Amino acid sequence: MVSWQTRTAKLLSRLTIRQSLKRELSVADMRERIQAMERFFPNVPDDIRIEHEPGLNHCDAEWLTPGAGPTERVILHLPGGAFMTRFMRAERLLLARMCRATNARGRLVFYRLAPENPYPAGLDDCLEAYQQILDLGTPPEHLVISGMSAGGCLALAVLLKARDLGLPMPAGALLMSPAADMTEESTDGSRVSNAARDAVLSLERGDDIRRLYLGEHIELANHPYISPVLADYTGLPPLFFQVSGSEILLDDSHRCAQRARACGVSAEVEVWDRMPHGWQALSFAPESGRAIARLADFIRERCP
């Protein structure tokens, strides 16, 4: 059974976020609306300490440390928001809850957004954050990278680029409904079959998002750093996908996992029934708590 809290959130998302995505709003308007919606998300609990130093060169980033004796684990989290906007409070709270569940320190990267900073600015910021964590002495086996939606795409891109650059791989990756297919052909499968059922995302702005994120590099849509569904996953760490069965991004997770397995990489997919996109961040819903407990299990499994 889906909880009443999640049902309510789905209805509200359908009436607000989905409508904003369906309509031709400017990026500024969309950001303004999201900021207004963010007021409904609580602040991080008091036992989580937030620090900004050491920072990154081109964007804001935060360190989240749980009060109860953190271990050596570090979670590098990349927020979602269609590469153009972000739910700062919701993502901060999500990471805080993951940190608390795993006694880990968290690194939240507010990478530069399109259209002001199109590809590869965001990816460069995320890679810089990854490199910085390693430079600070965190053993890669104690590091996990996570990302939601567009952040999931960036998390995969960071892994692929870090591998290509010869950097050490983290212990694992948590991918919450990654938007991993930016190609023009990405208009079949779950993107069509779930178009009506998805309570948050809408296909209408797909072209706009691609155009704004890629800027002048629109021809790069098939590049593995932009569409990781097309990547070679050889050498990547274990991947753990969480996705809802009723969202348009369902197939992205399945396709990435299939390719990863074909390359000998462990890839698990959890398909949650009737959840809205990004339900892990709904701190008031029981399903969110369950999802985070399972993400924490995976982290503990890969970073003992």
Partner 1 sequence: MSIQTSEKSSNRGQTFMRTLRQDHAGLSRIMREIDTQAHRLAEDSEGARAILVDAFRYLLRYHHAFHHPREDRLFARIRARDEALDQTLQQLSHEHETGEQETRRLAEDLARASNKELVGECGAELVDRINDYLRHTRTHMRHEETVFYSRAEQVLSDEDWLDIIADDGPDDPITDIRTMRASYPALARSLDEPTSHLGLHRPEHSSSHELRLQMLALTDLYGGLMHEAIDLTRTHFQRLKSVRDPVSLMRTAGTIYADNLRFAGQCVTRPSRWAINTGAGLIVGWLKPYMKQ
Query: Cβ 116 to partner 1, closest distance in Å?
Result: 25
28 binds partner 1 (CB under 8 A): no
217 binds partner 1 (CB under 8 A): no
Q: Whose CA is closest to 152, among 16, 2, 281, 58?
A: 281
31 binds partner 1 (CB under 8 A): no
Query: Cβ 293 to partner 1, closest distance in Å?
Result: 6
Instruction: Please select the residue that binds partner 1; options are 8, 22, 168, 234, rule is CB under 8 A.
Output: 22
Strands annotated E in the chain: 48-51, 60-66, 74-78, 105-110, 143-148, 172-176, 239-244, 267-272
301 binds partner 1 (CB under 8 A): yes
Q: Is the dihedral of CA 156, 158, 163, 168 positive or negative?
A: negative
Distances (CA, A) of 163 to 74, 104, 158, 167: 19, 24, 8, 6
HSE (CB half, 13 Å, CA atoms) of 140? 15
71 binds partner 1 (CB under 8 A): yes
x/- contact string, 86-115, with partner 1 (CB under 8 A)?
A: ---------------xxx------------
Window contacting partner 1 (CB under 8 A); options: 37-45, 109-117, 217-225, 291-299 = 291-299
Q: Which residues bind partner 1 (CB under 8 A)?
A: 1-2, 11, 14-16, 18-20, 22-23, 68-71, 101-103, 196-197, 245, 254, 257, 261, 267-275, 287, 290, 293-294, 296-298, 300-302, 304
